Chains A and B, each alone.
Chain A
Amino acid sequence: MTIIPQPKNRRRVLIASLLSIIPGLGQIYLGEVQRGLVLLFGLPAQTAIFWAIGGQWLAATTVIIWAWNILDARKLARGTKVSLAVPILLLVVLNLAAGWHVTKIDLYELATGVPNMRRIGVSLFQPQFVVRDVRASAVYTVPGPDVTKLGYRSEPASDAPNISVSPDSVVKGQNVTVSGRKFPSNQNGVLRINVGSDWQKISIKTDSNGRFISKFVNQSTEPGDYIVEAIIGLPFNQWHPSETLKLTSRLMLETIFLALVGTAMSIIVTVPLSFFGARNLMKTSRAGRIAYAATRGLFNVLRSIEVLIIAVMLTAAVGIGPFAGVLALAIHGIGALGKLYSEAIESIEQGPIEAITATGASKLQVIAFAVVPQIIPQFISFTMYRWDINVRMATVIGLVGGGGIGYILMQYIGLLQWKEAATAIWLIAAVVMSMDYASAVIREKLL
């Protein structure tokens, strides 16, 4: 069907098109005030935002929306109201493009940079949970004009496994004898000699007295110190947890307790406060409504400040360490738990309260028998959930000096000790996953 424009209609179209050169005016003229106002203020605002973050070229893209605005005005003048799907989709795409620009996404760098993560990635799968071998090392020297011997040829403790090389100063092609003692008896192992960037490896086996003797030919011509390391497997019954595992476990426990105490501190403050944050209890009087608004306001403010920020601020007061972390979790937790508790109180049924009030029970008895049984399961459930979140948060707080496992993890990463870092990371993952699971199971039972 073709619409033949009437003269009056044609004038409307013309006026609308001309007016909509300033976006939105055409729509306002045609009575679509809301759409017009959104265009009138929205389009310049969007353009300004693009200009600010991406410069003139990004800002210029909004000309597409401007063009759509003129088309829309013309269509409106002819009596059809176009759906907003197209401009909204366009805006989403433009804003995503702007976001791409702002966040400096660089796929080339990602593709070329990933191999640099190889060592980290490999180490991640070599966490040091158990010690399965004993190691000892010694150094020999290829002499040269500028070589000074390394200083660390210290005497090992007499009962510790140790190796010695003889002679300890060799030229290329010369035999080197390595002898080890005080190792576990009758075990297989490997001797590795550091040659340049690689290791030369020789299989060895200890005798019944825990000794071995092995020979190799020095291949190095480059003057300098070379490390020889013996790695002898431990029999299964002598495997033991590594020092890293012991340390990280202790700090993991510290983190869990840090979260526990932080959560407990929030509960002590939040349980009484949350009643003031429950609209159904507070709406009856003017003072109550003010208390409600103040409490909810406090909860919102506390909740919206990140735990990390609170922790960093608190380290100024109480110094670096777990206490700053505990306080940060407690303060943030008041906001988070307060909202949940208050909403739990708001969602209770009035019926039992009415019924028990009607029996002539006191206010305290009504709370004890009608309110508390209704909120206890939810309170416990929310608290479990909070503790679970707090364990994760406590880990992150450690990164900025709040103590716990996060702190040691940061040190491992700083010292490029990736295997030790991997130990901590896997431990955190295991604990967080099991707490997550446990709290989910318990919450399901309760509700």
Chain B
Amino acid sequence: MSLKIEHLTKIYDDGTVALDDVSLEVPDGQFLGIIGLSGSGKSTLMRCINRLIEPTSGRIWLDDVEVTAADSNELRKIRLHIGMIFQQFNLVKRASVLTNVLTGRLGYLPAGTGLYRRFPSEEIKRAERNLARVGISEKALQRADALSGGQQQRVAIARALMQEPGILLADEPVASLDPATAHSVLKYLEEINQSDGITVICNLHFLSLTRRYAHRVVALKSGKIVFDGSPSEIDNARFREIYGEDAEEVEVR
């Protein structure tokens, strides 16, 4: 799915300008890395795309559907196509891994179906397939909080895959993980980007990870886009521009 953002601005109730006239086009199938300091507006941008946060002004299209014009019913249908994973994984800790994955399918089911925690058997099979895809089939019946961080994030990816999304938003997906685990999670994102053609937009702290995985990098600073190009174009001068004069690059290998 392709994404088009026009003049997006978000001002919070306390007056903080999180996004300041951001315009951006992401073609179908791209792996876009978004970098920037904490507080630069990366997370706000992501949450505006699926309207977990309501933009103050500006317009957003997914393919030719305008997200910003949708009423709440239409919005739920649009959200079906937008998968999302989070820094803190956001799994229901007490529920089983399988149930967590199945929640990704709720939007496709009639509102009442899921309430008894009974899912159609084809959905359970679909969940098992997605768990197998992220390599944790054997954990299906364990409680989500019994898993390691990397495993939990893989459950979150499986949950997003249940939506059969056209686009996947990844908000700092590896910021809570150690470097080795970070790579394993990002490799799954790369894999679904390449084999399913799912557009991936991924917030990342580390430039080195962005260089390794992203086709294209957008840098945000104080809610504005300060760089948009290929990862290889970011030299030391550009780096200082994005992260500030005192910053020094830390490598994650």
- Interface set of A (CB-CB < 8 Å, partner B): 349, 351-352, 354-362, 364-365, 368-370, 373-374, 377
Asked if B88 contacts A359 (CB within 8 A), the reply is no
Q: Which chain A residues border B163 with CB–CB below 8 Å?
A: 359-360
Closest-CB distance, B245 to chain A (whole angstroms): 35
Asked if B79 contacts A360 (CB within 8 A), the reply is yes
A355 to chain B: closest residue by CB = B90
Interface core residue of A360, A364, A377 (most chain B CB under 10 Å): A360
Q: Which chain B residues border A370 with CB–CB below 8 Å?
A: 92, 103
Chain B interface bracket (under 10, 10 to 19, 20 to 34, 35 or more): 20 to 34
A365 to B93, CA, bound (A): 17
Q: Please, what's the 1-or-0 string for B54-98, where 1 marks a CB less than 8 Å from any CB in chain A?
A: 000000000000000000000011111011101011111111000
Can you pick out 8 interface pairs between chain A and chain B where the beta carbons lie within 8 Å of each other?
Answer: A352-B91, A354-B90, A355-B86, A359-B79, A359-B83, A359-B104, A360-B76, A368-B114
With known contacts A362-B76, A362-B111, A356–B103 Cβ distance under 8 A: yes
With known contacts A361-B103, A374-B94, A377-B94, A355–B76 Cβ distance under 8 A: no
A364 to B110, CA, bound (A): 11
A443 to B30, CA, bound (A): 50
Q: Which chain A residues border B88 with CB–CB below 8 Å?
A: 351
Closest-CB distance, B67 to chain A (whole angstroms): 12
B156 to chain A: closest residue by CB = A355
In addition to A352-B92, A357-B52, 11 A-B residue pairs with Cβ atoms within 8 Å of each other are A349-B90, A351-B90, A355-B159, A358-B52, A359-B83, A361-B103, A361-B106, A361-B107, A364-B111, A368-B114, A373-B95
Asked if B82 contacts A358 (CB within 8 A), the reply is yes
Q: Which chain B residues border A360 with CB–CB below 8 Å?
A: 76-80, 106-107, 163
Whether B115 is near chain A, meaning CB under 8 Å from some CB there, is: yes
B88 to chain A: closest residue by CB = A351
User: Could you say which of A351, A354, A369, A377 contacts B106, with CB atoms under 8 Å apart?
Assistant: A369
Q: Which chain A residues border B79 with CB–CB below 8 Å?
A: 357-360
Whether B40 is near chain A, meaning CB under 8 Å from some CB there, is: no
Asked if A369 contacts B90 (CB within 8 A), the reply is no
Whether B44 is near chain A, meaning CB under 8 Å from some CB there, is: no
Interface core residue of A358, A364, A377 (most chain B CB under 10 Å): A358
Closest-CB distance, B80 to chain A (whole angstroms): 4
A272 to B126, CA, bound (A): 35
User: Could you say which of B52, B78, B84, B103 contacts A369, with CB atoms under 8 Å apart?
Assistant: B103
User: Could you say which of B50, B83, B111 contacts A365, with CB atoms under 8 Å apart?
Assistant: B111
A352 to B160, CA, bound (A): 13
A369 to B104, CA, bound (A): 11
A368 to B106, CA, bound (A): 11
Asked if B103 contacts A351 (CB within 8 A), the reply is no
Q: Which chain A residues border B114 with CB–CB below 8 Å?
A: 361, 365, 368-369
With known contacts A358-B50, A359-B104, A369-B106, A352–B111 Cβ distance under 8 A: no
Q: Please, what's the 1-or-0 string for B111-122, where 1 marks a CB less than 8 Å from any CB in chain A?
A: 100110000000
A374 to B92, CA, bound (A): 8
User: Could you say which of A358, A364, A377 contacts B115, with CB atoms under 8 Å apart?
Assistant: A364
Closest-CB distance, A286 to chain B (whole angstroms): 13
With known contacts A364-B111, A368-B114, A359–B90 Cβ distance under 8 A: no
Q: Which chain B residues border A359 with CB–CB below 8 Å?
A: 79-80, 83-84, 103-107, 159-160, 162-163
Closest-CB distance, A379 to chain B (whole angstroms): 13
A252 to B160, CA, bound (A): 55
Closest-CB distance, B115 to chain A (whole angstroms): 5
A358 to B47, CA, bound (A): 9
Asked if A358 contacts B84 (CB within 8 A), the reply is yes
A364 to B112, CA, bound (A): 8
Q: Which chain B residues border A349 with CB–CB below 8 Å?
A: 90, 93
Interface core residue of B50, B105, B115 (most chain A CB under 10 Å): B115
Q: Which chain B residues border A368 with CB–CB below 8 Å?
A: 114-115
Q: Which chain B residues border A357 with CB–CB below 8 Å?
A: 52, 79
A351 to chain B: closest residue by CB = B90
A355 to B104, CA, bound (A): 9
Q: Which chain B residues border A369 with CB–CB below 8 Å?
A: 92, 95, 99, 103, 106, 114
Closest-CB distance, B114 to chain A (whole angstroms): 5
